[in-house]
Amino acid sequence: MHFNHYGGEAARLAADLANLTAPPRPEYLEPLLAAHGVVQRMLTTAEAEEIWKWSRRLATCFGSQNLEERCQAINTLLADASSRPRISLHDGRPHLHYSAVDAGAAAHIRAITAAGLAYMVCFAGADRLGRCARRGCGLAFVDTSRNGRRAYCSVRCANNDAVARHRGRHGGED
């Protein structure tokens, strides 16, 4: 399934940030941000700490929760990101940006991740913001599959879980 840059890609960035396990150093975040197409990715130590705190809030938007709870959590993120959509022509074609022209990198990241989660809920489905079903994993992911029924963060987790279920049924014998 194809999602626009500010929807799917920003939501995938939100999932990757939600999966952080410790406060990151700025040099660790830069390649992650680059992989998601974030141009403004040079962060100070204070901004990296701000992104860490934001990532803990993003993490609450993934997994099993009812639609009202998920929408309320994302609305709170949108309000706290205090972003205003605007049309930009910087590459010759009109498209939306979700942060002010002079916004710092951390403010930009907050704005696009909140908007990306909102986009997913409104245009793709709230259930596409999932958590891995493999026991012991639980990583956040954005389900971009055609049928929207993905249960695992990766093919590796799906395969590992299938092997574990098979071995559990057959007593570990192959």
Q: For residue range 16-50, list pLDDT tens digits in order.
A: 999 999 999 999 999 999 999 898 889 999 999 99
What tokens were used for 73? 């959590």
pTM: 0.87
Percent of the chain with pLDDT over 90: 66
Query: In terms of C-beta density within 10 A (0-12 exposed, 13-18 middle, 19 or more buried), how is residue 52 classed?
Result: middle
Average pLDDT over residues 73-89: 87
Question: What is the structure's pLDDT at 3?
Answer: 54
- For residues 14 and 41, the model is more confident at 14
Fold of 5-131: Jann2411-like fold (1.10.3300)
Q: Is the pLDDT of residue 107 over 70?
A: yes
Q: Are 122 and 134 in contact (CB under 8 A)?
A: no
| Rounded distance between C-alpha atoms, residue 55 and residue 66, angstroms | 21
Count of C-beta atoms within a 10 Å radius of residue 50: 18
Question: What is the structure's pLDDT at 5?
Answer: 56
Question: What is the structure's pLDDT at 6?
Answer: 57
Quote the mean pLDDT of the chain. 89
Q: For residue range 122-165, list pLDDT tens digits in order.
A: 999 999 999 999 999 999 999 988 888 999 999 999 999 999 88
